[in-house]
Chain A
Amino acid sequence: MSIMTYRQALHDTLRAEMLRDQNVFLMGEEIGVFDGSYKITAGLLAEFGEKRVRDTPIAEEGFTGAAIGAAMLGLRPVVEIMTINFSLLALDQIVNHAAKIYGMFGGQAKVPLVIRTPGGGGQQLGATHSQNIELYYAFVPGMKVVAPSTPADAKALLLAAIRDDDPVLFLENLSLYNTKGEVPDDDTPAEIGKAAVTREGRDITLIGYSRMAHVASQVAEQLAASDGLDIEVIDLRSLRPLDRGTLIESVKKTHAAVVLEDDWLTYGIGAEIAATISDGAFDYLDAPVRRVAMAEVPLPYSKPLETAALPSADDVIGAIRQTLDAVGHRRR
């Protein structure tokens, strides 16, 4: 076990997988000479050379599609798209090709591709550089979408994604790169499609992923100290497949849930979670499922506006208190 940042866990895992398997190589903008926009790939060009750490032109559709083609021939490309916003330029290649090739040709070609890309707002990057659009990919059968929130999961899910024979969108988050945590030394991959109960409790279930799984844990600790609340926290980790069973088991125990999401409310990931709970635990709910999501605006640049639009710990605490009030009302 070592303590390291989320960034370091990603870097070390990429390096270890490149050493383990000659078919693993990296492609993306500025990942080589520039060491990566967020320095995840720092030093790898010097170690592995241009063939395996390939700086690309600014052509997301072209290089993502080329990675898909290379994967069809059995290579295991790991593509970095600088932010998830730019993945829209490769949407056709990801949705119409990577996600379709295995099924469309009757299982004759696999696409063992990983697309690493960070989402997240809060850095005053404005409307086009702050989005959380992982939902677009989580919507598509044929894709797998994972969203680690800790350095340990960053490692374990990246191992799983690289060794998986399907296209995996690996969601990172700008605000998580510097977070630290314990990371196991062994290279056991996580199971894609499994959520984790990161804190057990009986009063209410908080459900989040990526940055918001972090926020959920913080809020749970805070309310345990201040209010003596016993909160259960679930980190989704995988958005497709979605581990519905873990959600239902938890809500059957706590009878209430708040979903935390960094994307927009309407049609967002939280809507799917709420519908799942409604389907699987309707008779166990003591209050409606609440969702805490980003305000439905193009995210503004100016700091007070940006801060107001993004879901915060206080917003979550407010939703928890209101939900527990409703629970108290129903349990009387």
Chain B
Amino acid sequence: MTAQTRTPRKKQNAAARISPVTAAGRTVEDGERLIDFYRRMVLIRRFEERAARGYTQALIGGYCHLNLGEEAAVVGLLSALQPTDYLFTNYREHGYAITRGIDPNRVMAELYGRVDGVSKGWGGSMHMFDIDKRMLGGYGIVGGQIPLATGVALAIDYRGGHEVVLCTMGDGTTNIGAFHESLNIAALWNLPIVYVIINNGLGMGTTVEKSSAEPELYKRGSAYRMASERVDGLDPVAVAEAAGRAIDSARSGKPFLLEVVTERLRGHSVVDPAKYRSAEEVAELKENDPVQTFGARLVDEGLLDADSLAKIDEQATARVAEAAAFAEASAFPDVSTLFDYTYATPVPNDSRRLPGQPLFEPAPIPEQGAAR
């Protein structure tokens, strides 16, 4: 066996691993909720595949990190949030944006760097923001979002509000100082925040075991006397339930650390072929594919059949094709807007020069013998 890329899961087949929801005792609403989960997961899957295609077509630039393999985690987590709650994520965020209810057209347009993008083309893949949906940003610096999210929780507490902040991060982020400083502050001040570790086993190409002295990452909450839990991130129902417990805790003033163990089906970003993973591991990834396993489970339970699976897939494919068409038709931001977002409060002497422009208009040369 080659180096392990993750804290091992219990060896069992995928169907058995997922917590059972028996047909007996399940309401119609429950069934619809499960189908809705699946529909959202498929939309993320197709969206990310379309984004990868857009990247190879050079329609998308910069970095592009995909949520492939994390669909169940994303959908489960966000299903537990109220519309008034706040969401912070890192740079692997497209799925969060569309699942939070931001129009996929605007998310794709942001990837394309267009004016109709969710951040008007200023942010790109890593920096999606929508105040109406209370998604307060994807952030590109590992750990950078954690103190900010903690501060939003502080502001909620300051105003006596009942909202909660959900702040996601990768497994590698738990080794950075901002994580520890923030958890300490949140625990000291009883802030309404859930910190979520999306543990996909790899920080770029470095395994959790090689980077974290306590590889059971949820246990790090104990250093701050913070309640914590680990959940299987391939099961959206389990994630939703765990997120519900975590959010309830946070809303009552007890911050929570939730570790969601998931998979990263592809490389760190679209340009990473992930050659550091073994053939066995890649085979196992396929077996653990959360979209496939959840779909199969809904078929087993009689909620979906081959036709309805295909229909959901077609709908998702059509939706992302529409998003790509919208993005491609959207204009690039006008260069005249380049200086519009440096400062919110205009002040004198703000420098608004393009490269090569002089600081001053060339001054007339004083005449010989001019009075000093």
Contact = CB atoms under 8 A, between A and B. Distances in A.
A284 B343 contact: no
B349 A92 contact: no
Interface string A52-94: 0000110101111111111111110000000000000000110
A191 B131 CA distance: 30
Nearest to A192: B347
B131 A62 contact: no
A110 B359 CA distance: 28
Interface residues of B, number: 52
A105 B359 CA distance: 28
A104 interface: yes
A276 B351 CA distance: 12
B349 A281 contact: no
B356 interface: no
Majority secondary structure, B binding face: loop
Interface string A96-119: 110001111111111110000000
Contacts of B129: 104-106, 108-109
B123 A62 contact: no
B178 A109 contact: no
A193 B348 contact: yes
A96 B141 contact: yes
B336 to A, nearest CB: 15
A70 B152 CA distance: 5
B340 interface: yes
Interface string B128-149: 0111000011010100101111
A67 B147 CA distance: 8
B119 interface: yes
Kindly name the residue among A66, A97, A142, A191 whose own CB sees the greatest number of chain B CB atoms within 10 A.
A66
Interface stretch (B64-72, B226-234, B275-283, B360-368): B360-368
Contacts of A56: 185
A103 B342 contact: yes
A240 to B, nearest CB: 9
Contacts of A109: 129, 131, 136-137
Interface string B311-352: 000000000000000000000000000001111110111110
A279 interface: yes
Interface string B107-143: 0000000000101111100010111000011010100
A283 B181 CA distance: 54
B161 to A, nearest CB: 9
B155 interface: yes
B62 interface: no
Interface string B143-180: 01011111111111010000000000000000001100
A71 B150 CA distance: 12
Nearest to A93: B147
A320 interface: no
A209 interface: no
B352 to A, nearest CB: 10
Contacts of A192: 347-348
A221 interface: no
B259 to A, nearest CB: 21
Contacts of B177: 61
A66 B150 contact: yes
Interface string A240-256: 01111100100000010
A105 B137 contact: yes
A69 B152 contact: yes
B293 interface: no
B4 interface: no
A65 B347 contact: no
A106 B363 contact: no
Contacts of B365: 283
A106 B343 contact: no
B288 to A, nearest CB: 34
A214 B195 CA distance: 48
Contacts of A144: 343, 347
A51 interface: yes
Interface of A: 25, 51, 56-57, 59, 61-75, 92-93, 96-97, 101-112, 141-142, 144, 164-166, 191-194, 238, 241-245, 248, 255, 276, 279-284, 331
**Closest 7 pairs (CB-CB, A-B):** A65-B147, A69-B151, A62-B181, A106-B120, A66-B151, A105-B129, A73-B155
19 contacts: A63-B181, A66-B147, A69-B154, A70-B152, A72-B148, A96-B144, A105-B127, A106-B117, A106-B122, A108-B129, A111-B344, A164-B345, A165-B345, A193-B349, A238-B347, A241-B347, A255-B372, A282-B363, A284-B366
